[in-house]
Amino acid sequence: MKIRNQKGVTLLEMMVGLGLSAFVILVVVAVQVHMTKEQTELTRQLSDSIDQNLAERIIFKNLNGIEASYNNISVKDNNGNNFYDFYPDLTENVLKVRKDRDFTLSLTAGNSEFFVLTQDFASGAMLNYDPVWAYDVGPEPADPNVPATLDFNASKNRAWISNEKSGGRPGFWRDTNILFFDTPNRIRPVKNGVIDRLVPPRSPFFIGSINVQAGDNLQKISGTAANLFNMTQPASGEAIDSLDSFLRELPSVGGGQTIVRARVVKLIRYSVEPDTKKIAEDYETQPLNLYYTEYRNGSWESKSLLADGVEKMILRRDSVLKRMIYFKIFKSVKKKK
Protein backbone atom coordinates (compact mmCIF):
# COMPACT_ATOMS: atom_id res chain seq x y z
CA MET A 1 0.00 0.00 0.00
CA LYS A 2 1.41 3.42 -1.11
CA ILE A 3 1.17 6.40 1.21
CA ARG A 4 0.41 9.63 -0.72
CA ASN A 5 1.60 13.13 0.31
CA GLN A 6 -1.55 14.90 1.44
CA LYS A 7 0.10 18.29 2.07
CA GLY A 8 -0.34 19.66 -1.55
CA VAL A 9 1.77 22.64 -2.73
CA THR A 10 3.51 24.62 -0.02
CA LEU A 11 3.57 28.43 0.06
CA LEU A 12 7.28 28.43 -0.66
CA GLU A 13 6.83 26.27 -3.75
CA MET A 14 4.02 28.50 -4.97
CA MET A 15 6.16 31.63 -4.54
CA VAL A 16 9.06 30.01 -6.40
CA GLY A 17 6.71 28.99 -9.18
CA LEU A 18 5.19 32.46 -9.47
CA GLY A 19 8.65 34.02 -9.45
CA LEU A 20 9.81 31.79 -12.27
CA SER A 21 6.64 32.51 -14.25
CA ALA A 22 7.10 36.27 -13.74
CA PHE A 23 10.73 36.02 -14.82
CA VAL A 24 9.80 34.10 -17.96
CA ILE A 25 7.06 36.63 -18.77
CA LEU A 26 9.49 39.50 -18.16
CA VAL A 27 12.05 37.96 -20.52
CA VAL A 28 9.39 37.33 -23.19
CA VAL A 29 8.07 40.90 -22.91
CA ALA A 30 11.61 42.33 -23.06
CA VAL A 31 12.38 40.27 -26.16
CA GLN A 32 9.12 41.34 -27.79
CA VAL A 33 9.78 45.03 -27.00
CA HIS A 34 13.32 44.73 -28.40
CA MET A 35 12.07 42.95 -31.51
CA THR A 36 9.35 45.59 -31.98
CA LYS A 37 11.95 48.37 -31.75
CA GLU A 38 14.23 46.54 -34.16
CA GLN A 39 11.33 45.95 -36.54
CA THR A 40 10.32 49.62 -36.36
CA GLU A 41 13.90 50.74 -37.04
CA LEU A 42 14.27 48.29 -39.94
CA THR A 43 10.96 49.50 -41.38
CA ARG A 44 12.12 53.13 -41.08
CA GLN A 45 15.48 52.32 -42.69
CA LEU A 46 13.77 50.44 -45.50
CA SER A 47 11.38 53.34 -46.07
CA ASP A 48 14.28 55.81 -46.12
CA SER A 49 16.22 53.57 -48.49
CA ILE A 50 13.30 53.26 -50.91
CA ASP A 51 12.70 57.03 -50.73
CA GLN A 52 16.39 57.76 -51.34
CA ASN A 53 16.73 55.26 -54.19
CA LEU A 54 13.67 56.58 -56.02
CA ALA A 55 14.93 60.16 -55.73
CA GLU A 56 18.39 59.18 -56.98
CA ARG A 57 16.91 57.30 -59.95
CA ILE A 58 14.90 60.37 -60.97
CA ILE A 59 18.00 62.57 -60.69
CA PHE A 60 20.09 60.05 -62.63
CA LYS A 61 17.55 60.10 -65.45
CA ASN A 62 17.71 63.90 -65.63
CA LEU A 63 21.50 63.94 -65.63
CA ASN A 64 21.52 61.52 -68.56
CA GLY A 65 20.93 64.35 -71.05
CA ILE A 66 22.91 67.08 -69.31
CA GLU A 67 25.27 67.87 -72.21
CA ALA A 68 23.40 71.14 -72.85
CA SER A 69 24.42 72.46 -69.40
CA TYR A 70 28.17 72.51 -70.00
CA ASN A 71 29.56 76.00 -70.59
CA ASN A 72 26.00 77.28 -71.13
CA ILE A 73 24.61 77.78 -67.62
CA SER A 74 26.36 79.17 -64.57
CA VAL A 75 26.13 77.38 -61.20
CA LYS A 76 28.85 78.23 -58.67
CA ASP A 77 30.28 75.28 -56.74
CA ASN A 78 31.60 75.21 -53.15
CA ASN A 79 34.80 76.99 -54.23
CA GLY A 80 33.18 79.68 -56.38
CA ASN A 81 33.99 77.99 -59.71
CA ASN A 82 31.38 77.23 -62.36
CA PHE A 83 30.26 73.65 -61.80
CA TYR A 84 29.63 73.22 -65.55
CA ASP A 85 33.04 74.33 -66.84
CA PHE A 86 34.16 71.88 -69.52
CA TYR A 87 37.42 71.77 -71.52
CA PRO A 88 37.04 69.15 -74.29
CA ASP A 89 40.23 70.11 -76.15
CA LEU A 90 42.93 70.42 -73.46
CA THR A 91 45.08 67.98 -71.55
CA GLU A 92 45.55 68.02 -67.79
CA ASN A 93 49.15 69.29 -67.93
CA VAL A 94 48.06 72.34 -69.98
CA LEU A 95 45.15 73.34 -67.76
CA LYS A 96 46.31 75.64 -64.97
CA VAL A 97 43.02 76.02 -63.09
CA ARG A 98 41.36 73.88 -60.44
CA LYS A 99 40.12 70.72 -62.15
CA ASP A 100 37.56 69.23 -59.75
CA ARG A 101 34.09 70.60 -59.00
CA ASP A 102 32.09 69.96 -55.83
CA PHE A 103 28.60 71.16 -54.99
CA THR A 104 26.87 70.51 -51.67
CA LEU A 105 23.12 71.10 -51.72
CA SER A 106 22.30 71.94 -48.10
CA LEU A 107 21.35 74.89 -45.94
CA THR A 108 24.57 74.71 -43.88
CA ALA A 109 26.69 74.93 -47.05
CA GLY A 110 24.75 77.99 -48.19
CA ASN A 111 23.66 76.26 -51.40
CA SER A 112 19.90 75.76 -51.31
CA GLU A 113 19.42 75.43 -55.11
CA PHE A 114 21.05 73.51 -57.94
CA PHE A 115 20.11 73.89 -61.62
CA VAL A 116 20.21 71.46 -64.53
CA LEU A 117 19.60 71.99 -68.25
CA THR A 118 18.87 68.56 -69.69
CA GLN A 119 17.58 67.23 -72.99
CA ASP A 120 13.97 66.06 -73.08
CA PHE A 121 14.32 62.85 -75.10
CA ALA A 122 10.58 62.14 -74.89
CA SER A 123 9.94 65.04 -77.31
CA GLY A 124 12.26 63.65 -79.96
CA ALA A 125 15.90 63.23 -80.87
CA MET A 126 18.25 66.12 -81.63
CA LEU A 127 17.44 67.84 -84.92
CA ASN A 128 19.96 69.06 -87.50
CA TYR A 129 18.33 72.40 -88.19
CA ASP A 130 18.50 74.20 -91.53
CA PRO A 131 18.54 78.01 -91.03
CA VAL A 132 16.69 78.43 -94.35
CA TRP A 133 13.60 77.13 -92.54
CA ALA A 134 13.30 80.41 -90.65
CA TYR A 135 13.61 82.92 -93.54
CA ASP A 136 11.86 84.31 -96.57
CA VAL A 137 14.46 84.94 -99.26
CA GLY A 138 13.76 88.03 -101.36
CA PRO A 139 14.09 88.28 -105.16
CA GLU A 140 17.51 88.06 -106.73
CA PRO A 141 19.02 91.58 -107.05
CA ALA A 142 20.20 92.82 -110.41
CA ASP A 143 23.63 93.58 -108.92
CA PRO A 144 25.42 90.28 -108.17
CA ASN A 145 27.41 92.03 -105.43
CA VAL A 146 24.27 92.83 -103.47
CA PRO A 147 22.76 89.99 -101.40
CA ALA A 148 19.08 89.14 -101.51
CA THR A 149 16.99 90.19 -98.54
CA LEU A 150 16.36 87.75 -95.70
CA ASP A 151 13.27 88.24 -93.54
CA PHE A 152 12.78 86.15 -90.43
CA ASN A 153 9.47 84.28 -90.53
CA ALA A 154 8.45 82.71 -87.21
CA SER A 155 5.44 80.92 -88.69
CA LYS A 156 7.55 79.33 -91.40
CA ASN A 157 10.07 78.27 -88.76
CA ARG A 158 7.33 76.61 -86.70
CA ALA A 159 5.87 74.86 -89.73
CA TRP A 160 9.23 73.38 -90.80
CA ILE A 161 10.15 72.20 -87.31
CA SER A 162 6.77 70.49 -86.92
CA ASN A 163 6.80 68.84 -90.37
CA GLU A 164 8.04 65.28 -89.99
CA LYS A 165 8.02 64.70 -93.77
CA SER A 166 10.61 67.44 -94.30
CA GLY A 167 12.83 66.16 -91.50
CA GLY A 168 11.31 68.08 -88.60
CA ARG A 169 10.15 66.87 -85.18
CA PRO A 170 6.38 67.01 -84.50
CA GLY A 171 7.04 66.54 -80.79
CA PHE A 172 9.13 69.71 -80.57
CA TRP A 173 6.48 72.38 -81.10
CA ARG A 174 4.23 71.89 -78.10
CA ASP A 175 3.01 74.43 -75.60
CA THR A 176 5.51 75.11 -72.72
CA ASN A 177 8.34 73.18 -74.46
CA ILE A 178 11.75 74.86 -74.34
CA LEU A 179 13.84 74.81 -77.54
CA PHE A 180 17.62 75.04 -77.44
CA PHE A 181 19.65 75.96 -80.55
CA ASP A 182 23.45 75.78 -80.75
CA THR A 183 26.28 74.58 -83.01
CA PRO A 184 29.07 71.99 -82.58
CA ASN A 185 31.60 74.84 -83.01
CA ARG A 186 33.36 75.83 -79.79
CA ILE A 187 34.85 79.33 -79.63
CA ARG A 188 37.07 81.20 -77.18
CA PRO A 189 37.56 84.96 -76.84
CA VAL A 190 40.68 86.53 -78.32
CA LYS A 191 42.77 88.89 -76.18
CA ASN A 192 45.46 90.99 -77.86
CA GLY A 193 45.38 88.71 -80.88
CA VAL A 194 45.83 85.54 -78.77
CA ILE A 195 43.16 82.96 -78.04
CA ASP A 196 42.57 82.69 -74.30
CA ARG A 197 42.78 78.93 -73.74
CA LEU A 198 41.97 79.19 -70.03
CA VAL A 199 38.39 80.19 -70.90
CA PRO A 200 36.16 77.15 -71.55
CA PRO A 201 35.19 77.05 -75.25
CA ARG A 202 31.51 77.39 -75.98
CA SER A 203 29.05 77.75 -78.82
CA PRO A 204 26.69 80.68 -79.27
CA PHE A 205 23.18 79.50 -78.46
CA PHE A 206 19.60 80.62 -78.18
CA ILE A 207 17.04 79.19 -75.79
CA GLY A 208 13.35 80.06 -75.86
CA SER A 209 10.04 78.61 -74.73
CA ILE A 210 6.90 77.95 -76.75
CA ASN A 211 3.73 79.78 -75.77
CA VAL A 212 1.02 78.89 -78.27
CA GLN A 213 -1.20 81.79 -77.18
CA ALA A 214 1.65 84.27 -77.73
CA GLY A 215 2.24 83.19 -81.33
CA ASP A 216 5.08 81.50 -83.18
CA ASN A 217 7.96 83.55 -81.79
CA LEU A 218 9.96 81.78 -79.08
CA GLN A 219 9.72 83.51 -75.70
CA LYS A 220 12.95 84.38 -73.92
CA ILE A 221 13.63 82.84 -70.52
CA SER A 222 12.65 85.44 -67.93
CA GLY A 223 12.91 86.13 -64.21
CA THR A 224 15.68 84.68 -62.05
CA ALA A 225 16.11 81.79 -64.49
CA ALA A 226 17.46 84.19 -67.13
CA ASN A 227 20.49 84.88 -64.92
CA LEU A 228 21.66 81.30 -65.40
CA PHE A 229 22.45 81.76 -69.10
CA ASN A 230 25.35 83.51 -70.80
CA MET A 231 23.48 84.05 -74.06
CA THR A 232 26.15 86.11 -75.80
CA GLN A 233 28.53 85.63 -78.71
CA PRO A 234 31.65 83.88 -77.28
CA ALA A 235 34.10 85.99 -79.27
CA SER A 236 32.51 89.46 -79.14
CA GLY A 237 30.27 89.30 -76.09
CA GLU A 238 27.32 90.69 -78.07
CA ALA A 239 23.90 89.69 -76.73
CA ILE A 240 21.82 87.07 -78.56
CA ASP A 241 18.27 88.24 -77.95
CA SER A 242 16.33 86.20 -80.52
CA LEU A 243 16.55 83.16 -82.78
CA ASP A 244 16.97 85.59 -85.67
CA SER A 245 20.06 87.23 -84.16
CA PHE A 246 21.51 83.78 -83.33
CA LEU A 247 21.08 82.49 -86.89
CA ARG A 248 22.45 85.65 -88.53
CA GLU A 249 25.73 85.50 -86.57
CA LEU A 250 26.59 81.81 -86.83
CA PRO A 251 30.32 81.10 -86.47
CA SER A 252 32.30 80.22 -89.57
CA VAL A 253 33.59 76.71 -90.22
CA GLY A 254 36.13 77.43 -92.92
CA GLY A 255 33.70 78.46 -95.63
CA GLY A 256 31.17 75.65 -95.26
CA GLN A 257 27.67 76.00 -93.88
CA THR A 258 27.60 75.90 -90.11
CA ILE A 259 25.66 73.01 -88.61
CA VAL A 260 22.84 74.13 -86.31
CA ARG A 261 21.41 71.75 -83.74
CA ALA A 262 17.98 72.00 -82.14
CA ARG A 263 16.57 70.03 -79.22
CA VAL A 264 13.91 70.24 -76.56
CA VAL A 265 15.35 70.78 -73.09
CA LYS A 266 14.08 70.96 -69.55
CA LEU A 267 15.31 73.54 -67.05
CA ILE A 268 15.22 71.89 -63.64
CA ARG A 269 15.79 73.24 -60.15
CA TYR A 270 16.61 71.04 -57.16
CA SER A 271 16.14 72.78 -53.82
CA VAL A 272 16.12 72.02 -50.09
CA GLU A 273 14.01 73.43 -47.28
CA PRO A 274 13.62 72.47 -43.60
CA ASP A 275 11.42 69.42 -43.07
CA THR A 276 8.86 70.88 -40.66
CA LYS A 277 7.13 67.52 -40.13
CA LYS A 278 10.15 66.12 -38.32
CA ILE A 279 11.40 67.31 -34.92
CA ALA A 280 14.87 68.73 -35.52
CA GLU A 281 16.03 67.86 -31.98
CA ASP A 282 15.56 64.17 -32.77
CA TYR A 283 18.22 64.27 -35.51
CA GLU A 284 21.98 64.82 -35.64
CA THR A 285 21.44 67.48 -38.34
CA GLN A 286 18.43 69.52 -39.44
CA PRO A 287 16.28 67.23 -41.64
CA LEU A 288 15.45 68.75 -45.03
CA ASN A 289 12.98 68.22 -47.84
CA LEU A 290 14.48 67.78 -51.31
CA TYR A 291 12.30 69.31 -54.04
CA TYR A 292 12.18 69.12 -57.84
CA THR A 293 10.82 71.99 -59.97
CA GLU A 294 10.61 72.67 -63.73
CA TYR A 295 10.58 76.03 -65.50
CA ARG A 296 7.54 76.41 -67.77
CA ASN A 297 5.48 79.27 -69.20
CA GLY A 298 7.87 81.93 -67.95
CA SER A 299 7.97 80.81 -64.31
CA TRP A 300 8.79 77.94 -62.00
CA GLU A 301 6.07 75.34 -61.48
CA SER A 302 4.91 74.08 -58.09
CA LYS A 303 7.51 72.04 -56.22
CA SER A 304 7.40 68.25 -56.15
CA LEU A 305 8.84 66.41 -53.15
CA LEU A 306 11.61 63.98 -54.07
CA ALA A 307 12.71 62.92 -50.58
CA ASP A 308 12.18 63.98 -46.98
CA GLY A 309 14.47 63.74 -43.95
CA VAL A 310 17.49 64.63 -46.10
CA GLU A 311 20.76 65.94 -44.66
CA LYS A 312 22.35 66.99 -47.99
CA MET A 313 22.94 66.08 -51.60
CA ILE A 314 26.48 66.12 -52.96
CA LEU A 315 27.35 66.45 -56.66
CA ARG A 316 30.91 66.04 -57.85
CA ARG A 317 33.01 66.14 -61.01
CA ASP A 318 36.52 64.72 -60.75
CA SER A 319 37.74 66.83 -63.64
CA VAL A 320 36.56 69.63 -65.93
CA LEU A 321 38.08 67.57 -68.76
CA LYS A 322 35.27 65.03 -68.37
CA ARG A 323 31.47 65.34 -68.30
CA MET A 324 30.91 62.63 -65.68
CA ILE A 325 28.91 63.75 -62.62
CA TYR A 326 28.70 61.72 -59.41
CA PHE A 327 25.98 62.42 -56.87
CA LYS A 328 24.65 61.06 -53.60
CA ILE A 329 21.72 61.86 -51.30
CA PHE A 330 22.44 61.60 -47.58
CA LYS A 331 19.63 61.07 -45.10
CA SER A 332 19.62 62.93 -41.79
CA VAL A 333 20.72 60.54 -38.99
CA LYS A 334 18.33 60.11 -36.06
CA LYS A 335 19.78 60.45 -32.57
CA LYS A 336 20.07 57.29 -30.52
CA LYS A 337 18.03 57.31 -27.33
Q: Is residue 39 part of a domain?
A: no
* 56 membership: H or E segment, kind and range: helix 11-63
Q: Is residue 24 part of a domain?
A: no
Task: Classify residue 147 by burial, with Cβ atoms within 10 Å: 0-12, 13-18, 19+.
Answer: exposed
Q: Is residue 245 part of a domain?
A: yes
Single pTM value for the model: 0.82
Residue 58 domain boundaries: 50-331
Q: Is residue 286 part of a domain?
A: yes
Q: pLDDT digits over 298-329, tens only?
A: 899 999 999 988 999 999 999 999 999 999 99
* 317 membership: H or E segment, kind and range: strand 304-317
Task: Classify residue 251 by burial, with Cβ atoms within 10 Å: 0-12, 13-18, 19+.
Answer: middle
Q: Is residue 336 part of a domain?
A: no
pLDDT of residue 165: 78
Task: Classify residue 4 by burial, with Cβ atoms within 10 Å: 0-12, 13-18, 19+.
Answer: exposed
Domains: count for the chain? 1
Contact in structure between 324 and 317 (CB atoms under 8 Å): yes
The span from the CA of 239 to the CA of 8, in Å, is 106
The span from the CA of 130 to the CA of 166, in Å, is 11
Q: Is residue 299 part of a domain?
A: yes
pLDDT of residue 46: 42
Q: Which of 105, 70, 77 is nearest to 230 (CA)?
A: 70
pLDDT of residue 35: 59
pLDDT of residue 328: 93
Q: What pLDDT tens digit does each residue of the chain (337 aa) get?
A: 555 555 555 766 667 666 677 666 776 666 665 555 555 554 455 455 557 888 888 899 889 899 999 999 999 999 999 999 999 988 888 888 889 999 999 998 889 999 999 999 999 999 999 998 999 988 888 888 888 889 999 999 999 999 877 788 999 999 999 999 999 988 888 888 888 888 899 999 999 999 998 899 999 998 889 999 989 999 888 999 999 999 999 987 766 678 899 999 999 999 999 998 887 788 888 899 999 999 998 899 999 999 988 999 999 999 999 999 999 999 988 877 6
Contact in structure between 302 and 283 (CB atoms under 8 Å): no
Q: Is residue 36 part of a domain?
A: no
Q: Is residue 16 part of a domain?
A: no
